[in-house]
Amino acid sequence: MKKANSGGALVVCSGGVDSVTALYWAKCRYKRVEAITFNYGANHNKRERAALRRVCADSATPLTVISLPLGRYFKSSLLSGADKIPEGHYAADNMKSTVVPFRNGIMLSFAAGFAESNGFGAVVLGNHGGDHTIYPDCRPDFIDSIATAIKCGTWNKVKVLSPFCNITKADIVRFGAQLGVPYKHTYSCYKGGRRHCGKCGTCVERKEAFALAKVKDPTEYEA
């Protein structure tokens, strides 16, 4: 595939399955790719960040870490300790407690400013179709709206790219496996333990995605 030459891509990365696959997606399309991650006070930020540092080191991808003290001001079980994280499938109502209000809006806005300041033509986000149920700032209408705002609000007309917005996590795993994404080095668990708990919404979704994609799950789970 011929790589684009439009100033490069800045990938908003957590260290989980979706964003790391988005990183590899971008590296197939752009000559210049960097990652940006946010330490915003979530239970699992430390584990995610360690996973992402390894992925970036192994793929020779520059990484910028930004601290945002959202935990001091926002209400979410994701910011309130592992014991506050609900267990079960994302389809359950109790999973709404894991929403960090406008998280993607805040991160994309910061990433857009960083991109404008450092000559990137695009910002890439790894949200997917399974996020739509409980995360308003992962839905297509939100992505389209903030993409328009960022394009209008930057001199260089920075683009927001969301390549997985309308596909499932299983589709992402299947696609990433073809690219050789090192899923064994990614981290997702909302409880933030050494091993994935296997019971929180993101762990359940992770296991389900590998099973549906018929890709071997390299994740080490507690249960």
Q: What are phi and psi of 32, to 5 degrees?
A: -115, 115
Residue 100 lies in a domain: yes
pLDDT at 14: 96
Tens digits of pLDDT across the chain (223 residues): 556 656 899 999 999 999 999 999 999 999 999 999 999 999 999 999 999 999 999 999 999 999 999 988 999 998 887 778 878 776 666 778 888 999 999 999 999 999 999 999 999 999 998 776 788 999 999 999 999 999 999 999 999 999 999 999 999 999 999 999 999 999 999 999 999 999 998 999 999 999 999 999 999 999 6
8 A C-beta contact, residue 153 and residue 39? no
20 Cβ partners below 8 Å, 6+ apart?
13, 52, 55, 126, 176, 181, 182, 183, 186
Whether residue 188 is contained in a domain is answered as yes
Q: Is 115 inside a domain boundary?
A: yes
Q: What does the pLDDT read at residue 83?
A: 77
Instruction: Give residue 6's pLDDT.
Output: 65
Say how far residue 108 (Cα) sits from the centre of its chain.
Answer: 11
pLDDT for the residue numbered 87? 83
Can you give the pLDDT at residue 10? 98
Tokens for 194?
């050494």
Residue 222 lies in a domain: no
Provide the domain count of the chain: 1
Indicate whether 3 belongs to any domain: no
Q: How far, in Å, CA of 188 to CA of 41, rounded?
A: 15
Residue 221 pairs in a beta bridge with 196
Q: For residue 174, give its domain range.
A: 9-213
CATH assignment of the domain containing 172: 3.40.50.620
Contact 214, 173 (CB under 8 A): no
pLDDT score, position 102: 95
Indicate whether 46 belongs to any domain: yes
Residue among 159, 145, 61 nearest 116 (CA): 159
pLDDT of res. 131: 72
Q: How many CB atoms lie within 10 A of CB 117?
A: 10
Question: Is 62 a domain residue?
Answer: yes
Question: Is the residue at 98 inside a domain?
Answer: yes
pLDDT value for 217: 97
